[in-house]
């Protein structure tokens, strides 16, 4: 049976891929803004810039969703191997076919024909099910400890995912145009004008705008992967829930949400705190420049929950003496001043 170390390695690789996607998006966005947005004529150049950004976001949203689909299917194969009980049930179903007639209507005559599965057919189906599961080739570049890890194309991943949950790539790709427009305007041209009013030179104001745009663009793009994971979990009877994996230096609110561990398969999660910087319902909240990923949980002993337990123990310690309405304030004060906080040059988010 695959070890938890294999699952942890796969999750770490997925989280790293999503962060790399965010980094490449930021790089490409800054280059795009510098090429298209004209500080000499911001009003005329902004619509063209915004259109290019919209295209970039949707492209990376699709990539994020594809990464998540492959990861979910691969992790599920590791975490939920075919159990003896399921194998016996499949064998029983194959044998039962011998006594269940196959019904076919002749389109020419309208006559109904029935046929029982032959003993040979049932025997072959049973033999196939009882045979040991074949070893899967290890994908090129995968860690050595992931031998047996199934390589799967994006198309096959979505086909498998659709068998697990009512989710399609088209569902995830769908992005409200008004929402995109509002986000880009707020962090784009409005941000540029604000920087100009603050006294920044036009070129610097443009770069300030690009940084703000990178944050909102990443939120919309990485939502592709996050929503793929959540939607799959909601429809997957094998999944316990999903968990938040933070970057090396999450904000206080992200750390608090991560401390809650596995968020169970419900769109209405108890305890969802409020913070206007975050988008999403319940615990499924993410902000601009958020380095967190959502990952599925199939086992209460999943390694990703160990960090959540550590954070939750610290949360209880820090907030024990604080009244209910002051708990988040107490946590934020502790988190922002903790001794093990990464230095600015080593922090990732």
| Residue 217, Cβ density class (10 Å: 0-12 exposed, 13-18 middle, ≥19 buried) | buried
Q: What is the pLDDT of residue 249?
A: 85
pTM of the model: 0.74
Which residue is associated with the tokens 């040059």? 345
Reported as a single tens digit per residue, the pLDDT across 308-321 is 889 999 999 999 88
Distance CA 273, CA 235 (A): 25
Reported as a single tens digit per residue, the pLDDT across 279-338 is 444 456 788 888 889 999 888 788 888 888 899 999 999 998 888 778 999 999 999 998
Q: In what order do the strands lie in the sheet with 293-297?
A: 263-264, 241-245, 293-297
Q: What is the pLDDT of residue 203?
A: 95
Which residue is associated with the tokens 């063209």? 48
Neighbours of 141 (CB within 10 A): 6
CA dihedral 340, 247, 285, 47 (to 10 degrees): 120
The Cα-based distances of 147 to 12, 178, 337 in angstroms read: 16, 46, 42
- pLDDT per residue, tens digit, the chain (349 aa), is 456 888 888 999 999 999 999 999 999 999 999 999 999 999 999 999 999 999 999 999 999 999 999 999 999 988 886 545 444 544 444 444 444 445 455 556 655 455 555 556 555 544 544 455 444 444 444 444 333 334 678 889 999 999 988 899 999 999 999 999 999 999 999 999 999 999 999 999 999 999 999 999 999 999 999 999 999 998 998 888 888 988 888 899 899 888 888 876 554 332 333 333 334 444 567 888 888 899 998 887 888 888 888 999 999 999 988 887 789 999 999 999 988 777 654 444 4
Distance CA 19, CA 11 (A): 12
Q: What is the pLDDT of residue 206?
A: 96
Distance CA 268, CA 126 (A): 43
Q: Is 70 helix (H, G, I), strand (E, B) or coil?
A: helix
DSSP lists the bridge partners of residue 245 as 293
Q: Where are the beta strands (DSSP E) in the chain?
A: 102-105, 112-115, 241-245, 263-264, 293-297
Crossing angle of helices 119-130 and 84-96, in 10° steps, is 170
* Nearest C-alpha neighbor of 74 from the set 157, 147, 8, 2: 157
Q: What is the pLDDT of residue 80?
A: 82
Q: What is the pLDDT of residue 123?
A: 57
CB–CB of 14/293 below 8 Å?
Answer: yes
CB–CB of 328/336 below 8 Å?
Answer: no
Q: What is the pLDDT of residue 83?
A: 47
Distance CA 165, CA 74 (A): 15
Q: What is the pLDDT of residue 339?
A: 83
């Amino acid at each position: 049976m695959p070890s938890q170390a294999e699952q942890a390695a796969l999750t770490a690789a997925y989280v790293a891929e999503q962060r790399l996607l965010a980094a490449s998006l930021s790089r490409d966005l800054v280059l795009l803004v510098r090429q298209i947005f004209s500080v000499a004529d911001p009003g005329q150049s902004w619509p063209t810039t915004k259109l290019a950004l919209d295209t970039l976001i949707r492209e990376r949203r699709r990539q994020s969703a594809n990464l998540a689909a492959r990861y979910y299917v691969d992790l599920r194969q590791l975490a939920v191997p075919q159990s003896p009980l399921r194998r016996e049930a499949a064998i029983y179903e194959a044998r039962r076919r011998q006594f269940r007639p196959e019904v076919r209507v002749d389109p020419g005559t309208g006559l109904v024909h029935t046929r029982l599965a032959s003993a040979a057919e049932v025997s072959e189906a049973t033999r196939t099910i009882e045979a040991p599961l074949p070893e899967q080739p290890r994908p090129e570049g995968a860690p050595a400890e992931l031998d047996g890890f199934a390589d799967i194309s994006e198309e096959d991943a979505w086909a498998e995912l659709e068998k697990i949950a009512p989710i399609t790539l088209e569902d995830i790709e769908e992005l409200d145009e008004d929402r995109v427009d509002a986000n880009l305007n707020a962090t784009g041209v409005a941000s540029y004008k604000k920087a100009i009013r603050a006294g920044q030179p036009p070129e610097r104001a443009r770069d300030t705008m690009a940084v703000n745009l990178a944050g909102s663009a990443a939120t919309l793009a990485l939502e592709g992967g996050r929503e793929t994971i959540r939607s799959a979990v909601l429809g997957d009877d094998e999944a316990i829930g999903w968990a938040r994996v933070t970057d090396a230096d999450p904000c206080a609110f992200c750390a608090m949400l991560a401390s809650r561990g596995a968020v169970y398969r419900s769109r209405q999660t108890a305890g969802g705190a409020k913070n206007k910087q975050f988008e999403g319902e319940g615990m499924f909240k993410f902000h601009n420049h958020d380095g967190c990923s959502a990952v599925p949980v199939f086992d209460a002993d999943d390694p990703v929950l160990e960090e959540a337990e550590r954070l939750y123990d610290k949360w209880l310690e820090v907030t024990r003496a604080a009244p209910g309405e002051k708990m988040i304030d107490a946590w934020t004060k502790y988190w922002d001043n903790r001794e093990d906080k990464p230095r600015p040059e080593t922090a990732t988010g």
